Structure 1
């Protein structure tokens, strides 16, 4: 099963939207994982907003992909923010204490704001 995602640039940020939850949660879908990782590796300092609106469940494979993506972003001094997270996914992230690992915002404008550096005066 090959589920795709769309990625678009918004200034310095990359916004990723999943078409359906299946690909993220299918442990056999290495092409999705590899494509996500490649999209991040192409950026010098990746600033990524990940739209999880279509993700209505999260398997261990999905968690592994998200953690792997965040690690790749962190090693390049970037930042990953999740937004439009469904309640069941949010609850799972809280139970796993991953809500401390992943910044989560309500919507795209909030996610983009969270990616911007805090101005220093």
Structure 2
């Protein structure tokens, strides 16, 4: 059983956490593995990840997010984190990861930033 749900939108895949504990649980790799397998199965993943339920981010959670971004970047995709609570954003800022991740305030802004740039 995963602790997240997904929804396909025209601009990308939305990931919503059912329980934030899965992101921070260092004792099991099932959550991480399911998340990574999900994006690895997509040719060029465009992912909007809802972190609104996360009010604490452990080192395991940070590692999962960094690993997710690396996998998406390898496939020339894009990851946008949205709904990030101030305490989590502060932690990521202290770790200088705000330069690494892309952030949006809400789902519609996240999906808009996933849209391919028109070259016309």
- What is the TM-score when the length of structure 1 is the normalising length? 0.95
1:98 corresponds to: 97
Q: Is the 8 A contact 1:82 1:103 kept in 2?
A: yes
1:109 aligns to 2:108 (yes or no): yes
Q: Is the 8 A contact 1:18 1:52 kept in 2?
A: yes
Q: Is the 8 A contact 1:4 1:23 kept in 2?
A: yes
| 3-state SS of 1:57 partner | coil
Q: 1:44-92: per-residue Cα shift (whole Å, max 9, x none)?
A: 0000000000001000000000000000000000000000001100100
1:120 aligns to 2:119 (yes or no): yes
1:29 corresponds to: 28
The Cα of 1:118 is off from its aligned counterpart by: 2.1
Give, in whole Å, the separation in 1 of the partners of 2:93 and 2:11.
29
1:6 aligns to 2:5 (yes or no): yes
Structure 1 unaligned segments of length 5 or more: list them.
none
Q: CA RMSD in A?
A: 1.2
Structure 2 unaligned segments of length 5 or more: list them.
none
- What is the TM-score when the length of structure 2 is the normalising length? 0.95
- Tell me how many residue pairs correspond in the alignment: 120
Give, in whole Å, the separation in 2 of the partners of 1:58 and 1:72.
20
